[in-house]
Amino acid sequence: MSNFNWCHGPSCHEKHTVDRVRGVKGSKVLRTRKVPINRWNENTIWRFFCSTQCQLDFATYHCAEFLEERYPRTEALETPINDPKKTNMGYRWNDWEITVDETRQR
């Protein structure tokens, strides 16, 4: 196993920063950043991304297809509750006591 990942940000190689510049004079490129794997990121999502922006770019590009294909939600979920009871005057949403009805199946 290598000790780094190439950043998974789909536009990492298009961001104009000096540390991404590689190659010899006359044929320079902007290259995807390497993300070193270390004890701070080895068990987190940060081993795949060089920055918050690259993580957001990835989510924007791939989250919708991932959720729609792998975890489609075709109907709403529901939690059975007892009839809500007013506490205080009931002027705000949190002036209601809402409890789960454990006798009904979920």
Instruction: Please identify, among the stretches 1-9, 22-30, 71-79, 98-106, the one whose residues bind Zn ion according to the rule CB under 5 A.
Output: 1-9
Q: How far is the CB of 12 from Zn ion (least distance, A)?
A: 3
Cα–Cα distances (Å) from 73 to 25, 58, 81, in that order, read 52, 21, 22
Q: What is the DSSP letter of 54?
A: H
Q: Enumerate long-range contacts of 62-65, CB under 8 Å, 24 or more apart.
A: 62/10
84 vs 37: CA distance, rounded Å: 50
Indicate whether 12 belongs to the interface with Zn ion (CB under 5 A).
Answer: yes
User: Whose Cβ is closer to Zn ion: residue 19's or residue 101's?
Assistant: 19
Instruction: Please identify, among the stretches 11-19, 37-45, 64-72, 97-105, the one whose residues bind Zn ion according to the rule CB under 5 A.
Output: 11-19
Element (DSSP H or E) covering residue 29: strand 29-30
Instruction: Please identify, among the stretches 8-16, 20-28, 62-70, 90-98, the one whose residues bind Zn ion according to the rule CB under 5 A.
Output: 8-16
30 vs 50: CA distance, rounded Å: 14
Task: Write out the binding residues for Zn ion, residues 31-90 only, by CB under 5 A.
Answer: 33, 50, 54
The residue ranges that bind Zn ion (CB under 5 A) are 7, 9, 12, 33, 50, 54
